[in-house]
């Protein structure tokens, strides 16, 4: 089963631009074979408190070019294992974008979003509408709706369940 696509509500963790995959999970942890162990080191360099404070359905909000650098699928995986409900950024690096949908982690592109949301604010994401609502203020901010292909992949729970369903 895939992640939920509407009403993903959680606290926002706001980051700047160019958060690369080394910052999400450092190379020194890539030989760990258990994702739960690895997730304890998510965002260790830019936000050392993240791994212990993150709660289910929290939302990552970031500037442009989120997930650049190494192709490591471990980056979206540790976010998924940390309970992150969605990553909303001004733009994503290409491999990270693909990897996230492949494993069933929702992403949403909304221009200027890192300046509109404050760290710690409760926000609600609706992937079908492509929107983010800031709870306390009630503003609904519109982003780029997801393509059919990406929505289908999320509904299936990622590329592997999608593949199993669609082969033959």
Look up tokens 């290409």; give the residue.
94
Which candidate, 24, 125, 118, places its Cα nearest to that of 73? 24
Choose, by CB under 8 A, the member of 4, 11, 98, 155 that binds another protein: 98
Please report how close the Cβ of residue 138 comes to another protein at its closest, in angstroms: 32
The region of 5-13, 21-29, 108-116, 125-133 touching another protein under the rule CB under 8 A is 21-29
Phi-psi region of 69 (alpha: psi -120 to 50; beta: other; left: phi over 0): left
Structure tokens at 82: 């940390």
Position 95 contacts another protein (CB under 8 A): yes
Q: Which residue's CB is nearer to another protein, number 138 or number 148?
A: 148
Considering only residues 121 to 140 of the shown chain, the ones binding another protein according to CB under 8 A are: none
Q: Which residue's CB is nearer to another protein, number 45 or number 140?
A: 45
Report the alpha-carbon distance of residue 89 to residue 109 in Å, rounded. 5
Please report how close the Cβ of residue 119 comes to another protein at its closest, in angstroms: 20
Choose, by CB under 8 A, the member of 13, 14, 64, 79 that binds another protein: 64
Which candidate, 103, 112, 99, 147, places its Cα nearest to that of 127? 147
- By CB under 8 A, name the binding residues for another protein: 18, 20, 22-23, 26-28, 30-33, 44-45, 64-65, 68-74, 91, 93-95, 98-99, 102-103, 149, 158-160, 163-164
């Amino acid at each position: 089963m895939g992640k939920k696509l509407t009403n993903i509500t959680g606290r926002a963790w706001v980051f700047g631009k160019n958060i690369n995959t080394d910052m999400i999970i450092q190379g020194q942890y890539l030989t760990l074979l258990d994702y739960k162990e690895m997730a304890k080191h998510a965002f260790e360099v830019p936000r050392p408190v993240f791994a212990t404070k993150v709660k289910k359905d929290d939302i990552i909000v970031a500037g442009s070019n989120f997930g650049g650098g190494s192709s490591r699928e471990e980056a979206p995986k540790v976010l998924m294992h940390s309970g992150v409900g969605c990553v909303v950024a001004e733009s994503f690096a290409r491999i990270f974008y693909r990897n996230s949908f492949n494993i069933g982690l929702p992403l949403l592109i909304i221009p200027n979003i890192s300046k509109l949301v404050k760290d710690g604010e409760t926000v609600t994401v609706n992937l079908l509408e492509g929107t983010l609502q800031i709870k306390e203020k009630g503003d609904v901010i519109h982003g780029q709706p997801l393509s059919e292909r990406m929505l289908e992949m999320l509904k299936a729970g990622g590329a592997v369940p999608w593949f199993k369903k669609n082969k033959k």
